[in-house]
């Protein structure tokens, strides 16, 4: 899987999936078995822990929120970056951020999630 497809699959099939069975199946396809997820408030390691961390994020968002890439992923030498936004479909972005992934053997080995600071 190329970097663009991998990063987009993570956004759509992991962070965009509220069903835990479908989400863990996607994580098993696109994350290394011992992958790490680093979010601003916590880190998780392994498929089940990553799935739970994503579930915890989604629990605090309205059910109609969607994650959308704001431009294609970019990267090289096993490191990819994808900028995204989340909010109601067709509505204004409630949160924006960037995912930075370390990829080995076509799988995400580590994902760092950076949230943008709101304009004041």
Distance from C-alpha of 45 to C-alpha of 33, rounded to nearest angstrom: 9
Q: What is the pLDDT of residue 119?
A: 66
pLDDT digits (tens, 9 = 90+) for 26-42: 999 999 999 999 999 99
Cα–Cα distance measured from residue 64 to residue 84, given in angstroms and rounded to the nearest whole number: 16
Three-state secondary-structure class, residue 25: helix
Dihedral-angle region of residue 75 (phi above 0 means left; psi in -120 to 50 means alpha; beta otherwise): left
Query: Which residue, 63, 74, 53, 77, is CA-closest to 18?
Result: 63
Q: What is the pLDDT of residue 72?
A: 94
pTM of whole model > 0.75? yes
């Amino acid at each position: 899987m190329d970097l663009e497809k991998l990063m987009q699959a993570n956004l759509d099939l992991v962070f965009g999936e509220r069903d835990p069975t479908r989400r863990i199946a996607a994580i098993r396809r696109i994350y290394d078995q011992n992958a790490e997820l680093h979010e601003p408030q916590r880190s998780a390691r392994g498929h089940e822990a990553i799935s739970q961390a994503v579930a915890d994020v989604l629990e605090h968002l309205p059910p109609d929120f969607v994650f959308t890439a704001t431009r294609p992923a970019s990267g090289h030498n096993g490191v990819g970056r994808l900028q995204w936004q989340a909010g109601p479909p067709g509505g204004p972005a409630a949160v924006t951020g960037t995912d930075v992934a370390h990829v080995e053997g076509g799988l995400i080995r580590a994902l760092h999630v950076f949230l943008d600071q709101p304009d004041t």
